[in-house]
Chain A
Amino acid sequence: MRRRDAFRALAGLGLVACDTRKPHKGALGAVERFNENVEGVLLSDRAASEDLELTPLEAFPGYHVAPAIPQVPHDWYLTISGMVSKPLKLSLDDLRRMPRIDARIRHHCVEGWTAVADWGGVAISELAKLAGAKETAYVEFRSFDAPSFESRGYWSSWDRASAFHSQTMVAYQMNGQPLSAKHGAPCRLYGSVKLGYKLVKYLTEVNFIDRRTGGYWENKGYEWFAGV
């Protein structure tokens, strides 16, 4: 009997430790934090430069959390703030006048599909330089894509090394054309080292911060680091 009780207790403990409804907690959360360290060690600044075939634009999915495709607010601008010496308010033309980086990147969606596009925009490291950003551990990206009128928009926070990767950018071009509303117009975060849900579309804010602020899907239970 005592052995059976011990077995039951152990099984119960296992269930609590592996509660998949709250995957950031218990044993699953502990392994997630371990995996984050592994992912941090694996992360290199190497630029993804495979010979990739472009995905037809109409076959490239575009997701948003708002009930309809978010439209650009008429008073839109991109703010660069947080721990910076010169907070910036940038228009799309301001971004276009800055040095542009271009990269062909395979998109890895958490659902399991991939798609390829050419992206052009301004590197996060360039924006950091311009705004005089302090060496913060995290960078947060916010959006005007919101599930309802009252709620705050979609967002994600990144580790510094991934945000400062040479291909991480505020992208305003996709396949050489201005970004369409479906793909995050007027500009979105893009890069080669994170899963799709970290690549915030309909961008409004880039904040250099010293603590993690989770993210829209991350707070629901998806991995915070989500490197690829």
Chain B
Amino acid sequence: MAKPRRPQPLLIRITHWINVPVLAILAMSGLQIFLAYPFFGPRGAEYDWVPLSGWMPPEWIRAGGWLAGARHLHFAFMWVLVINAAIYVIYLAASGEWRRRLLWRNQARQRYNRLQRAAYTGALVLGIAEVLSGLAMWKPVQLHRLTWLMGGFDGARVIHFLAMLGLFGFVIGHVIMVIVHWRKFPEMITGGKREDA
């Protein structure tokens, strides 16, 4: 049999903690970019149904200082997110960890309950939506097929914003659960005691 596995394997801990500042920088620089035009839909046919349309994000949740600075931050840290996420996803798939963490058919000896697995699966789906809609907005003409899939540039912008709100909701729920189950928290740093997987 394989060596007993820690509850939180090293690669999962590393990618998790890299994600914390990277997601914060991307969200905050994204809000700085959003501030330049806090509306959705093409000119003359705006979408008035998108939540927070017209909202001016306050300075303390923005990063980059101004539009060009925020765009440079966003287009630099997007690569860190993509590389980090690729390592995470490849590891999940190769190690079989996905069976314990993602929403799939029920199996014996689950470490995480259905709600937890639904949340982790949802966060992963939102992250993929962020990357795809972000690429569509970055290169709407050159990546025209992807942009079409996202409902055009303006559709991609809505998806990008809503997925960010979704990820924000996930982080809030996640942090609350960590506070409630604070005894589990050190595992995310040390990895925890090896157990039979």
In chain B, what residue has the closest Cβ to A39?
A: B139
Q: Whole-angstrom distance between the alpha carbons of A18 and B45 in the complex? A: 37
| Contact in complex: A56, B157 (CB < 8 Å) | no
Residues in chain B near residue A20, CB distance under 8 A: 63-66, 68-70, 72-73
Residues in chain B near residue A27, CB distance under 8 A: 76
Q: Does B75 contact A (CB under 8 A)?
A: yes
| Contact in complex: B73, A114 (CB < 8 Å) | no
Residue B68 contacts which of A39, A44, A113, A222 (CB distance < 8 angstroms)? A222
Residues in chain A near residue B142, CB distance under 8 A: 39, 42-44, 193, 227-228
Q: Does B193 contact A (CB under 8 A)?
A: no
Contact flags A197-228 to B (C-beta < 8 A → 1, else 0) = 00000000000000000000100111100011
Using known A-B contacts A20-B73, A42-B139, A228-B141, determine if residue A112 contacts B157 with beta carbons closer than 8 Å: yes
Q: How distant is B10 from chain A, measured CB to nearest CB, in Å?
A: 21
Residue B153 contacts which of A46, A56, A106, A221 (CB distance < 8 angstroms)? A106
Q: Whole-angstrom distance between the alpha carbons of A39 and B64 in the complex? A: 22
Residue B39 contacts which of A32, A39, A55, A113 (CB distance < 8 angstroms)? A113
In chain B, what residue has the closest Cβ to A53?
A: B45
| Contact in complex: A110, B36 (CB < 8 Å) | yes
In chain B, what residue has the closest Cβ to A221?
A: B68
Q: Whole-angstrom distance between the alpha carbons of A218 and B39 in the complex? A: 25
Q: Does B5 contact A (CB under 8 A)?
A: no
Residue A228 contacts which of B36, B39, B45, B140 (CB distance < 8 angstroms)? B140
Residue B42 contacts which of A21, A55, A222, A228 (CB distance < 8 angstroms)? A55
| Contact in complex: A114, B154 (CB < 8 Å) | yes
Q: Which of B136-160 contact A (CB under 8 A)?
A: 139-144, 148, 152-154, 157
Residues in chain A near residue B64, CB distance under 8 A: 20
| Contact in complex: B144, A111 (CB < 8 Å) | no
Q: Does B43 contact A (CB under 8 A)?
A: yes
Residues in chain A near residue B79, CB distance under 8 A: 31
Residues in chain B near residue A12, CB distance under 8 A: none
Q: How many residues of A contact B (CB 8 A)?
A: 42
In chain B, what residue has the closest Cβ to A48?
A: B141
Q: How distant is A146 from chain B, measured CB to nearest CB, in Å?
A: 21
Q: Whole-angstrom distance between the alpha carbons of A48 and B67 in the complex? A: 27
| Contact in complex: B154, A21 (CB < 8 Å) | no
| Contact in complex: B141, A193 (CB < 8 Å) | yes
In chain B, what residue has the closest Cβ to A49?
A: B144
| Contact in complex: A113, B43 (CB < 8 Å) | yes
| Contact in complex: A115, B43 (CB < 8 Å) | yes
Residues in chain B near residue A217, CB distance under 8 A: 68
Q: Whole-angstrom distance between the alpha carbons of A56 and B44 in the complex? A: 6
Residues in chain B near residue A18, CB distance under 8 A: 73, 76
Q: Does A1 contact B (CB under 8 A)?
A: no
| Contact in complex: A28, B73 (CB < 8 Å) | yes
Q: Does A109 contact B (CB under 8 A)?
A: yes
Q: Does A108 contact B (CB under 8 A)?
A: yes
Q: Whole-angstrom distance between the alpha carbons of A185 and B12 in the complex? A: 58
Using known A-B contacts A55-B43, A61-B43, determine if residue A42 contacts B72 with beta carbons closer than 8 Å: no
Contact flags A35-50 to B (C-beta < 8 A → 1, else 0) = 1000100111010101
Q: Whole-angstrom distance between the alpha carbons of A221 and B72 in the complex? A: 9
Q: Whole-angstrom distance between the alpha carbons of A23 and B77 in the complex? A: 13
Q: Does A138 contact B (CB under 8 A)?
A: no
Query: Which A residues lie at the B interface, using CB under 8 A?
Result: 18, 20-21, 23, 27-28, 31-32, 35, 39, 42-44, 46, 48, 50, 53, 55-56, 58-61, 106, 108-116, 192-193, 217, 220-223, 227-228
Query: Which B residues lie at the A interface, using CB under 8 A?
Result: 33-34, 36-37, 39, 42-45, 63-73, 75-76, 79, 139-144, 148, 152-154, 157
Can you identify 12 A-B contacts, CB atoms within 8 angstroms? Answer: A20-B65, A23-B71, A23-B72, A32-B75, A42-B139, A50-B144, A110-B71, A112-B34, A115-B44, A192-B141, A221-B66, A223-B72
